[in-house]
Amino acid sequence: MQEKEYVAIFRMFSNDTSIRILRLLWAKKEEVCVCEFSTAINRPVYEISKRLRLLKKFGFVVARREGKYNYYRVGEIKEKFKIRVVESILSLKEEEFEEDIKRFMKKACSVSE
């Protein structure tokens, strides 16, 4: 990895939405539609989509398109730096994400079924 990529990854995770999305994906352990993230963390779909594009660009998530919807899951992360980033994010206090996870597990998305 080049220095520019390290900087871009730190910049991406300086936004709490990226951290919350990654935490939720690890909690759910299955494919998730954008609208489920939007409901869980109370952010607009366009913001969630932007963050997911960045997470995908750097290999933290992978996407599958079905019709007009994208479904995301955790990517296969092999670089040590990225593994350490994920470990750091997952080590954050659970209580900070409890409400997100409760809303997320309800699967409040009208398009996913």
Look up the CATH number of the domain holding residue 59. Answer: 1.10.10.10
pLDDT for position 105: 75
Question: What total number of domains does the chain contain?
Answer: 1
The answer on pLDDT for 111 being more than 80 is no
Q: Residue 61 domain-assigned?
A: yes
pLDDT for position 113: 45
Q: Residue 112 domain-assigned?
A: no
Q: Residue 113 domain-assigned?
A: no
Q: Residue 111 domain-assigned?
A: no
- pLDDT, one tens digit per residue, over 20-73 is 999 989 888 889 888 888 888 889 989 999 999 999 999 999 999 998 888 999
Q: Residue 71 domain-assigned?
A: yes
Percent of the chain with pLDDT over 70: 94
pLDDT for position 94: 75
pLDDT for position 33: 87
Q: What is the DSSP letter of 53?
A: H
Structure tokens at 24: 């939720």
Strand-pair partners of 66 = 69
CB 32 within 8 A of CB 72: yes
* 3-state SS, residue 62: strand
Q: Residue 74 domain-assigned?
A: yes
**Integer Cα distance of 12 and 86 in angstroms:** 13
Q: Residue 80 domain-assigned?
A: yes
Q: Residue 33 domain-assigned?
A: yes
Q: Which domain holds residue 27?
A: 3-105
Residue identified by tokens 């479904």 is: 71
